Structure 1
Amino acid sequence: MISSARLAHRTLLAASAALGLMAAPAAAQDAAAVHQRALVLDGHVDVLLPGANPRYFADDGKSFSEIDKLKAGGVDALVYAVAVSTGPQTPEGQAAARAEADAKLAAIHKIAADNPGDVAIAYSADDVRKIVGEGKIAILIGFQNAYSLKPDVAEFDRLQKEGVRVAALNHAGNNAFADSSRPQQGAGEQHGGLSPLGKAAVTRLNDLGVLIDVSQLTPKGVFQTLELSRTPVVATHSAARSLVDNTRNLSDAELDAIKAKDGVVQVVPFNSYLLPQPADYPARLKALRAEYGLPLDRPGYQGADDLPKDRQDAFFAAYRALSPQATVKDYVDHIDYIAKRIGVDHVGIGTDFNHGSGIPGFKDEGEAPNVTRELLARGYTEAQIDAIWGGNFLRALKAAEVGAQPQARAD
């Protein structure tokens, strides 16, 4: 349980940050104590269902966000995303995605129902602080990829009623609502960012008080969302494109625009977004795909999940070896870059654990204190670290709630 002293200290941290106090570097302080006092929130974690691809599980056969790992890492809150992959644009494909999304939503509620002494579902920023104050882990429900929805913005009303408080329109692959930063092979930008349906969805999510996540959108989609949204947005799992030119990362112009909307960019420890690929990477990848009989006109590891289990394991081991391995220092370089570019009040942490993310030193929730340790080593103050871990995200979530149209809310 969280002590009253810890709660009082958190209140003092928030007040001090608001007044601009606590400016002295805290590097000399005990990192474990600083981490323990912070409200540690992970802004994006996938949900694993039984039978999911084994490579998304940790070496112990469990998820990277098991309750024991959350406790070991001092993680107080997280956003579990009801995320699905984009499949065929057919009724059958979308029905399968809807079934998967419904199963993941049920799985999130089951985690809380099965562990009432440890976990509770949060439906607001205030709920998060209340649940954490009771010594429990707060779970917010996120949503990713409107491919699983009917082409109707009223679908978001249903999701909000079922507890969704953070929502992204897409994932890898375009859908009826928006273009993806990683479109299907040859698809390009089909909508020029957001489709008319996607633009209507931005307004509807604002009305419902749901925080909009822009992490997977194209730049055009990001700028359109920012122009249309009445409230701040968040990028729950991205990194800095000026450091690594990956389409999943955000350019300086996007960072600046998110700041202008008082939003937050949560940095993801996904290896390929943190370090640039070597010059010979394309040739080596092509050779690896040829070795395993995979189509040469498809990117990355696409198609490898269809290999037999033993060849799949060998392929992914070789695939990972093609790229340099990022460290916690490399990860915090992206946090540091964004903080310096747009301010420490606009950066946070979202891991994308359970979907291929994780690096040595921050491979699961249990290693979260290593990030605090590196931030302290770079001179970040305790108040700033508290803001990076949870305060900034909760501010954006609260703003989304305040901006809702009362008649639209189901809660």
Structure 2
Amino acid sequence: MTGPAHTAKLLLATLGVLTIAAPASALDAANAHRHALTLDSHVDVLLPTTNARYFAPDGKSFSEVSKLKAGGVDALVYAVAVSTGPRSDEGYQAARAEADEKLAAIRKIAADNPRDVAIAYSADDVRKIVGQGKIAILIGFQNAYSLKPDVAEFDRLQKAGVRVAGLTHAGNNAFADSSRPQQGAGEEHGGLSDLGKASVGRLNDLGVLIDVSQLTPKGVAQTLALTRAPVVATHSDARALVDVTRNLSDAELDAIKTNGGVVQVVPFNSYLKAQPADYAQRLKALRGQYGLDPDKAGYAGADDLPAEKKEAFFVAYRALSPQATVKDYVDHLDYIAKRIGTDHVGIGSDFNHGSGVPGFADESEAPNVTRELVARGYTQAQIDQIWGGNFLRVLKAAEVAAKP
């Protein structure tokens, strides 16, 4: 992350300068990548207790500092995410403990790498830290299940450094419905509950950027109707290309544009390539073959299989789905950019949570995305927007909307 080109990049980042766009044919992909302030808007936090499946083949994080440096990634949002569990005191306490451990883990990354990493608390902080030649870490949050439930808990999180927050993950909670509800749960609240609606206003007051990636269409619409600041979808794809509930429809994309928000595109294989017509039948047969309940979804229960059997199951499970590529990934980015404009699209990897495709499998391979953007004719100014400029714009707007 050193040398004349990077020094120029850091100066431009610090000053917030946007250069005149060069013709696409004149762009060199490596130089274009070095010029951009590159920001990944959603990365999960690994703990020693995290399932080994979520670690990279080297046994480390997909966003290890060495990989960030190798990929020229300047900033990222580490999301304090927890699984949804029972709505009981015990469940909330366990989720709170996990969230607190992940907050501490994020701070430890910066503490262990003081020459290379610093925590950012604002859009201006990100630019300043990058201007110092360091990687900026923003703290995000996902899944209000861990908040008791109590809207006032967002105040505690904001004081702890959280600057981006989403209400749901897989499974509904007391605040909102998830785009991936637990089996048979359906839409419990019709989008946001009263707690969820109150949370939108509170997050606005605190200057925290609202993340809509895991909400239902009704939840997205209600959030957009209530918020007085732009929102972000930190890791989503286009439903027009692949019809899964985690992807955003054209109507949702258009509404996010109207709001002034940004959709950060994620390289998650099953959101990028449609499943074959016989996928459900083949999955059911595979689950039965390994003694798992054939009527349950995905890999539910597979982590309890004996080690050797579990590994074989996951190899077969992954083989059920077609493999997406960097081109497929940029197809979604390209679709969203053409639908709502390059002012409203960005990049959020969801690394350390099963995301990644060959060519963009960890942070070290981020330049391959820029290479594909250049090949499709994106200009330097557009690449600068996509890789970090758009996200920093909406983060700043959320800050401005805060009430003292």
- Do these two structures clear the TM 0.5 threshold for a shared fold by scoring above it? yes
Which of residues 326, 335, 338 is equivalent to 1:337?
A: 335
| Correspondence list, 1:360-375, <5 A | 360-375=358-373
| Correspondence list, 1:123-134, <5 A | 123-134=121-132
Matched to 1:107, the amino acid is: A
Deviates more, 1:349-358 or 1:144-153: 144-153
Match of 2:67 in 1: 69
Deviations 1:200-221 (A, max 9, x none): 0000000000000000000000
Deviations 1:125-174 (A, max 9, x none): 00000000000000000000011111111000000000000000010000
Taking structure 1 as reference, are residues 294 and 262 closer, same or farther at Cα in structure 2, changes over 3 Å only? same
Whole-angstrom CA distance in 1 between matches of 2:247 and 2:388: 21
Identical columns (%): 80
Deviations 1:34-67 (A, max 9, x none): 1011100000000000121011001100010000
Contact 2:247 2:271 in 1 (8 A): yes
Once the 2 structures are TM-superposed, how far is the Cα of residue 89 of structure 1 from its aligned partner? 2.0
Which of residues 6, 12, 33 is equivalent to 2:9?
A: 6
Partner SS for 2:18: helix
Partner SS for 1:298: coil
| Correspondence list, 1:64-213, <5 A | 64-213=62-211
Contact 1:27 1:378 in 2 (8 A): no
Whole-angstrom CA distance in 1 between matches of 2:229 and 2:264: 17
Once the 2 structures are TM-superposed, how far is the Cα of residue 275 of structure 1 from its aligned partner? 0.5
Whole-angstrom CA distance in 1 between matches of 2:88 and 2:8: 55
Match of 1:15 in 2: 18
Deviates more, 1:5-14 or 1:39-48: 5-14
Taking structure 1 as reference, are residues 325 and 27 closer, same or farther at Cα in structure 2, changes over 3 Å only? farther
Whole-angstrom CA distance in 1 between matches of 2:40 and 2:202: 25
Partner SS for 2:78: strand
Equivalenced residue count is 401
Taking structure 1 as reference, are residues 132 and 11 closer, same or farther at Cα in structure 2, changes over 3 Å only? closer
Long gaps (5+) in structure 1: 407-411
Contact 1:304 1:315 in 2 (8 A): yes
Once the 2 structures are TM-superposed, how far is the Cα of residue 310 of structure 1 from its aligned partner? 1.5
Match of 1:263 in 2: 261
Taking structure 1 as reference, are residues 396 and 289 closer, same or farther at Cα in structure 2, changes over 3 Å only? same
Taking structure 1 as reference, are residues 31 and 13 closer, same or farther at Cα in structure 2, changes over 3 Å only? farther
Deviations 1:246-288 (A, max 9, x none): 1000000000000000000000000000010111111111101
TM-score (norm 1): 0.95
Whole-angstrom CA distance in 2 between matches of 1:114 and 1:240: 38
Partner SS for 1:368: helix
Match of 1:311 in 2: 309
Contact 2:9 2:37 in 1 (8 A): no
TM-score (norm 2): 0.97
Match of 2:248 in 1: 250
Partner SS for 2:42: strand
Deviations 1:72-125 (A, max 9, x none): 000000000000111122221221111110000000011111111010000000
Which of residues 378, 381, 402 is equivalent to 2:379?
A: 381
Contact 1:41 1:390 in 2 (8 A): yes
Contact 1:326 1:359 in 2 (8 A): yes
Partner SS for 1:80: strand
Alpha carbon RMSD of aligned pairs, Å? 1.3
Once the 2 structures are TM-superposed, how far is the Cα of residue 402 of structure 1 from its aligned partner? 0.2
Match of 2:295 in 1: 297
